[in-house]
Structure 1
Amino acid sequence: MTLSKIFKYPDTWRDGRYDIADRKQVPGVGGLILGCGDLDPAILELRLANNFSKLKLEFGQSNSSESSDQTLAVRIDANGQYRDQKSVKLNQIAAFEIPVQKVNALKISVYLKETPDCGGFGSAEAVLTNMVLS
């Protein structure tokens, strides 16, 4: 899935090819995440119009992220309700498979987890890849 299929996303995010962990030139959408904590996440919103049953996606940090000490977190909310959340460090990839029946608005929140290594001023390039609605 490319940004053209996403209803709303941060202006700084872009489609591209990224190196993530041991994968090279993976197509996906990515953006820089600055600061720590979930108070001001990058939010990507999809409008599904109740037409799908499942969302699959993988995420990780680009190998070119400025800091190698950050923990990237992704949270999924469907119709304003919490569905799932996962986090990864550099050199890891995590996956979601979320049921989305009767979902119109789906939000993917991306932020850096508040950790002792973050110190409030972390940065990492987040990448969402293999996003498939079925």
Structure 2
Amino acid sequence: MDDSIGASEPVESETPTALAADVAGRPLTLSNVFKYPDGWKDGRYDVADQKQATGIGGLTTSCGDFNQSVLELRLANNFSRFKLEFGESNSSISSDEVLVVRIDTNSQYRDQKSTKLNQIAAFDLPVQKVNALKIIVTLKESTTCGSGTVEAVLMNMVLS
């Protein structure tokens, strides 16, 4: 019997890890995100009156609880505050949809805000004793919801 079957050297995991405390104070990029939807990317976006703002963007067409875009950070209890600004890219296909961003911490609802095209909303939340933080992006449920596509942009995402 060959003893090498099933035995292998450990390899570097491609699974994202929890954020180290040294990311504090600087804007996070997609490489800092534990899990994120396909198609989301780092880039520069025009949002309301901010030109070429650095952020993380992705398309969303989902309404309410159906097929939400979820980005997850693993904080490992290393931080005390979480700040985030968000809005719709000026180049979003639809100008009538309302973008909704919800924050859950440790699988519990924390806060939710919404914004229309040409507006920017912000969170500034305490995150002591938080390991998993989810940013849930969707469109506000309405009679027209789902008829258009919005490019959501997360900007100035900073832990401290």
* Equivalence for 1:13: 40
Deviation of residue 122 (structure 1)? Answer: 2.4
The answer to whether the aligner puts 1:50 opposite 2:73 as a matched pair is: no
Runs of 4+ in 1 over 3 A off after TM superposition: none
One-letter identity of the residue aligned with 1:97: D
Which of 17, 26, 30 does residue 57 from structure 2 map onto? 30
Structure 1, unmatched stretches of 5+, are none
Two-structure CA RMSD over aligned residues (Å): 0.8
1:61 offset after TM fit, Å?
0.1
TM-score (norm 1): 0.96
Structure 2 contact 62–68 (Cα < 8 Å) conserved: no
2:153 maps to 1:127:
yes
97, 115, 133: which one pairs with 2:142? 115
Q: Please list the CA deviations of residues 56-115 of structure 1 after superposition, one character each: whole Å capped at 9, or x if unmatched.
A: 000000000001000000000000011000000000000000110000000000001112
What's the counterpart of residue 119 of structure 2?
92
TM-score normalised over the length of structure 2: 0.81
Higher Rg of the two aligned structures: 2
* Runs of 5+ consecutive residues of structure 2 not aligned to the other structure: 1-27
AA aligned to 1:28 is G
CA distance in 1, matches of 2:104, 2:80: 15
Residue 3 (1) aligns with residue 63 (2): no
Residue identity opposite 2:32 in structure 1 = K
